Amino acid sequence: MKTNSERMCVICRDKKNKADLFRIVEKNEDGKYILDENQIVQKRGQYVCKTHECINRLSKHKKIKMEIEELLKMLNLLKKNTKDYLKILKAMKNSQELVFGMNMIFDEIEKIHFIIIAEDISEKNDKRIIVKAKEKNIPYVHYGKKNELGDIFNKEEINVIAVKNKKVARGLIE
């Protein structure tokens, strides 16, 4: 018997494997939700992508209310499970495999295999880059702040960095 382990994120509406999502359940009648870390609570659950973007949007959600402690738990779990992209990118900064900045990335979009987006990017630019990434089927992740990404290239701030090398991109994704 085959089970369907694909669920939809209540925030971005993307369908993903259950293992790639956080499960949240309503705690009681007060309407507050808690993280079901082991996905075993016997209540109807909702699913949220394991991304900074979706957790950030969840924190502002009008219908799904979560305590700050629960959101922090999710962020800490996310941090444990992600690579330190900043260290990897710093080591690669002099290679010709990275491009940064919205315009340069859009100019070279056909050569790009992975995108790292600053967590504090403006909502407008975030949407622009995500739409283009989805359109071109390019994986992306939200990681670090604009000033942290900027430090890699001795700039004040950088919104987004992209990887042009397919093998390097695969290593960052896996």
pLDDT in 10s for each residue of the chain, 174 residues? 445 689 999 999 989 888 889 999 988 777 789 999 888 888 888 999 988 788 888 988 888 888 888 888 888 887 766 667 888 888 888 778 899 999 999 999 999 999 999 989 998 999 999 999 999 999 998 888 999 999 988 999 999 999 998 888 887 777
pTM exceeding the 0.85 threshold for the entire prediction = no
Give the model's pLDDT for residue 31: 77
**59 burial level (CB within 10 Å; 0-12, 13-18, 19+):** middle
Are 118 and 163 a contacting pair, CB within 8 Å? no
> What tens digit of pLDDT does each residue of 95-146 get?
788 999 999 999 999 999 999 999 899 989 999 999 999 999 999 988 889 9
Q: What is the largest CA-CA distance in the chain?
A: 56
